[in-house]
Structure 1
Amino acid sequence: MSEEAIRLVTIGRIFRRRWRLLAIVAVTGAIFGYGASLLFPPSYTTSTSVLLAGQWEERELLTQAEIASSSAVVDRAAGALDWSGVSGSELRDQVSAKAADGNIIKISGTAESPERAQKLSDQVAKQFVTFAARLAGEDTDPDAASGSGGSETLREKVAQTNRRITDLANAADPGQTVESVQARTELEKLRTSLQEAMKKLDEADPASNKANMVVMGPAVRPTGEAPPTRTQLIAAGALLFFLFAVIGHLAAARASRRLRTEPEIAAALGSALLGSVDVPGERSAHRPEGGGSRARIRRILGVDTRWDVPTPRMSGDEADRRVRYQRVCARLREKVPGPRRLLVVVPDGDEIGRRAAGQLVTEAKSDPGSSGRGYPALRVVEVPVSRPLVPDRGTETGALVVLSAGSWTAAELAGIAEACADARHEVVGIVLAGQVRARPARTADRPAEGATPTVAVGADARGGAV
């Protein structure tokens, strides 16, 4: 697993074999999300639109948006609202403004209730219009009033001048002399210049700015909470914890140092592989033994069995499985000639290896050969991998290691090999046990209980090497 790519089948295996743990982790994340929602009370957001009539450049609209959310406007809104315990600095975090399409400034307000959010947005929009008008020169102070009066007086003077020009043009010599034509032409040029000047004055008049900035109705009272809502926080917590659990499983599998391939296992034990055998699958094959509350909790969570073990493949019936065991015994007989006794070393906790070792002992007892060429006598011993200890050499003159792939690290297997060497046992071979799904037993053409199939040693029942 440490060198394999992460595939969908791996994710599916986590879901199938760790669904209880993932469900509990997701519920825990939902509880954390609910707790976070209690720390952040619900809030409501609504907005008010202010229309800026006329031609506005983009940078000017951005400037107006900054003014709408500035402290000068928000502080005035806070003073007008006069909410107890709420200052302008606190409201500044609850007010935002942005320039929208169509020369519109959208002012948003956020509060703990729909009513307050509506009042906040409306009041900030009102204060923004008033403040913008003051910036443009519109105010009610005496100076502004006198400025406005001066503009009206100037317009009256221009109107009087236009009337006087008309009178002069009418009083000019109606003849077609050069002097009369030039006089009327000059008077018309003067009238045109005055009209253009008044047009520019009207366009630059600050008094028109206030009329060009209009609040487009009151804010709509919000009906739902502003994100993140309590439901969103609960869902986000459950999803986040769920993803962390899945990623944690994948990271642990990638960092696993358990040996899975035959060459790695053979190199760690320093011996040759005699073959591989099949063990019919059982629910407790990868489940550690033991009791107590801790074991019960592991069973409830579904972590008492390994998830990273591949799905057992379909095997033949019992006769096919016996062929593999008999081939291993035959190779063992060729490797260790004569009537010898061997220890079958199984790592403690390897249920698949223990069952395979028991079947090997059974097959070794059903010796089809002569007494001089029979199978070696086997005795099974389970060795703890934490502090491996193998019985000293006595009647047994060698050790056969039986284990399942993907269960032990190189250091653990090296420790077993060293324990065998300390007890003066030579590791004569290795047998790998794999879990399979059994098929129904044959009803016909089944080999006899003690018969040895007439197949070449080194090939499985379908002709492949074991």
Structure 2
Amino acid sequence: MSDDTIRLVTIGRIIRRRWRLLTVLAVVGALVGYGTSLLFPPRYTTSASVLLPGAWEERELLTQAEIATSSVVVDRAAATLGWTGVSGSELRDRVSAKATDGNIIKISGTADTPERAQRLADQVAQQFVAFAARLAGDDTESAASTGPEALRKMVVQTSRRITELADAADPGRTVESVQGRTELEKLRIALQEAVKKLDEADPVTNKSNMVVMGQAARPAGEAPPTRTQLIVAGALLFFLLAVIGQLTAARMSRRLRTEPEIAAALGSALLGTVDVPGERPAHRPEGSGPRARFRRLLGLDVRWDIPTPRASGDEAGRLIRYRRVCARLRDRLPAPRRLLVVVPEGDEIARRAAEQLVAESRGDRSPTSSGSGYPVLRVVEVSVSQPLVPDRGTESGALVVLSAGSWTADELTGIAEACADGKHEVVGIVVAGAVRARTKRSAGHPPDDAAPALAVPGHAAGGAG
């Protein structure tokens, strides 16, 4: 799988063949998420809105949002709330503010109960409004607040004086008097317009009158992440990690999957491929220990990275493949010989294929022109960790039968070296593959050329057949 593209069918195969392991890991992840939720108490968040009347620029609104979460405002709120063990520095981590559309500052407070969250947001909003009013001078008699009012009084007095001067002037008798009255009227109009503009642009009266838009709503649910979210996130995280781990392990696998790679590792020629019918997945190692039972329980004894077996043809077609292999093996040998059929230990598909080859070789009824028949075969299973092949005796040669995608190059090289140590030449290789058997045929006479199925005893390494 190292060069294959990861597709949805691959993910589906992992889920289908590793569903027990994935379920167990998802449950473990959910328990981890639940434990995490116990370490972090629930949090509740609510917000209070403060309206800023007048015209404000964006940077001014950002400044006001920073003021709302400043240490001065939060410390005053903490002092007013008087919560035991909660200081202003701790509250600053629970308070946030942001400017929204419509000149509104939204102040959010987070606490361990809905009531405390509501009180915190309301108190910070009130302290912010009070602090902003103090900065603007609403609660002082500063010159900034008294100056505009004094200026208005002076404008009124000046307007009256202008009227008196205009009345005292000689109305309409001379050109100079008419021009004087006109200039005085223009001056009075200009003063009134200036006062009007001053009222419209007065930052004290327009920008300092901030309003808290009602009490903060009491939160009805926890702030994220909630306990349910942590449990679901833990289960999903462990599930994804398990899938990614399976994909990574398959991509890093060094098992040989192609026939040329297998032939190169064993140093011999490929005689053909044969099919083994059956619904059981390939390469299911047997065992009776606790570890083997645990692997069977989680489904780890079944390889997921082996493609789904293709549909099988009829029995006659499968038997033809076995006979062709036996014929090629006969043609490669100068005379009928006895051969060892070497099968890697634990390769169930290869073992069944080897047994069928033995049955076909014993049922040979088609002698050649020279009178020679199929070689006599005996099956031996060889451990891939410590390969040991019986020494050359009545058998002089080895036929290796194995399934693709189950063994690495080093393991196959070890089997070839074990054959060489036993003075056996590897005369050929047969690759076995699992197929889905069709429905059984109705009862009837088997074909005349069908070989009987024979049980081959003694599959242990070095056993007699």
* Aligned position for 1:66: 66
Displacement after TM superposition at 1:445 (Å): 9.1
CA contact 1:99–1:105 (8 Å) conserved in 2: yes
* Aligned position for 1:49: 49
- State the alpha-carbon separation in 2 of the partners of residues 65 and 366 from structure 1: 93
Displacement after TM superposition at 1:77 (Å): 1.1
* Aligned position for 2:230: 233
- State the alpha-carbon separation in 2 of the partners of residues 210 and 134 from structure 1: 12
Q: Given the alignment of the two structures, is residue 332 of structure 1 paired with residue 322 of structure 2, yes or no?
A: no
- State the alpha-carbon separation in 1 of the partners of residues 261 and 144 from structure 2: 96
Cα offsets for 1:147-206 (capped at 9, x unmatched): 645543443232222222223223322225212112212212321332244335435545
- State the alpha-carbon separation in 1 of the partners of residues 268 and 211 from structure 2: 90
Gap runs ≥5 in structure 1: 453-466
- 210, 214, 229: which one aligns with 2:211: 214
- State the alpha-carbon separation in 2 of the partners of residues 273 and 122 from structure 1: 83
**RMSD between aligned alpha carbons?**
2.0
CA contact 1:137–1:206 (8 Å) conserved in 2: no
Change in 2 beyond 3 A, CA 1:138/1:380: same
TM superposition score normalised by structure 2 = 0.92
SS in 2 for 1:308: coil
* Aligned position for 2:431: 432
Q: Given the alignment of the two structures, is residue 88 of structure 1 paired with residue 85 of structure 2, yes or no?
A: no
- State the alpha-carbon separation in 2 of the partners of residues 12 and 281 from structure 1: 22
CA contact 2:54–2:206 (8 Å) conserved in 1: no
- Matched AA of 1:330: A
- State the alpha-carbon separation in 2 of the partners of residues 451 and 253 from structure 1: 39
- State the alpha-carbon separation in 2 of the partners of residues 395 and 374 from structure 1: 17
* Aligned position for 1:164: 161
Q: Given the alignment of the two structures, is residue 402 of structure 1 paired with residue 409 of structure 2, yes or no?
A: no
- Matched AA of 1:66: E
* Aligned position for 2:411: 412
SS in 1 for 2:247: helix
- Matched AA of 1:23: T
* Aligned position for 2:420: 421
- State the alpha-carbon separation in 1 of the partners of residues 220 and 451 from structure 2: 83
Q: Given the alignment of the two structures, is residue 250 of structure 1 paired with residue 247 of structure 2, yes or no?
A: yes
SS in 2 for 1:237: helix
CA contact 1:319–1:446 (8 Å) conserved in 2: no
- State the alpha-carbon separation in 2 of the partners of residues 180 and 115 from structure 1: 76
- State the alpha-carbon separation in 1 of the partners of residues 47 and 55 from structure 2: 24
Q: Given the alignment of the two structures, is residue 261 of structure 1 paired with residue 247 of structure 2, yes or no?
A: no
Change in 2 beyond 3 A, CA 1:442/1:150: closer
CA contact 2:69–2:97 (8 Å) conserved in 1: yes
Cα offsets for 1:207-250 (capped at 9, x unmatched): 31565321111111111111111111111111111111111111
* Aligned position for 2:196: 199
SS in 2 for 1:224: coil
- Matched AA of 2:419: C
Cα offsets for 1:323-342 (capped at 9, x unmatched): 11111111111111323100
Cα offsets for 1:267-320 (capped at 9, x unmatched): 110100111111112426421110122222212211111111111111122222
- Matched AA of 1:305: V
- Matched AA of 1:230: R
CA contact 1:345–1:381 (8 Å) conserved in 2: yes
* Aligned position for 1:362: 359
* Aligned position for 1:296: 293
Among the aligned pairs, what percent are the same residue? Answer: 76
CA contact 1:357–1:380 (8 Å) conserved in 2: yes
CA contact 2:269–2:427 (8 Å) conserved in 1: yes
* Aligned position for 1:461: none
Task: Kindly tell me the number of residue pairs found equivalent between the two proteins.
Answer: 449
Q: Which stretch shows the higher mean deviation, 350-359 or 175-184? A: 175-184
Displacement after TM superposition at 1:129 (Å): 1.1
SS in 1 for 2:5: coil
- Matched AA of 1:245: A
Q: Given the alignment of the two structures, is residue 274 of structure 1 paired with residue 265 of structure 2, yes or no?
A: no
* Aligned position for 1:460: none
SS in 2 for 1:396: coil
Q: Which stretch shows the higher mean deviation, 415-424 or 441-450? A: 441-450
* Aligned position for 1:455: none
- State the alpha-carbon separation in 2 of the partners of residues 352 and 432 from structure 1: 10
- State the alpha-carbon separation in 2 of the partners of residues 147 and 382 from structure 1: 102
Displacement after TM superposition at 1:117 (Å): 0.9
- Matched AA of 1:57: E
Q: Given the alignment of the two structures, is residue 114 of structure 1 paired with residue 114 of structure 2, yes or no?
A: yes
CA contact 1:48–1:108 (8 Å) conserved in 2: yes
CA contact 1:174–1:180 (8 Å) conserved in 2: yes
- Matched AA of 2:429: I
Q: Which stretch shows the higher mean deviation, 406-415 or 205-214? A: 205-214
Displacement after TM superposition at 1:39 (Å): 1.2
Change in 2 beyond 3 A, CA 1:167/1:12: same
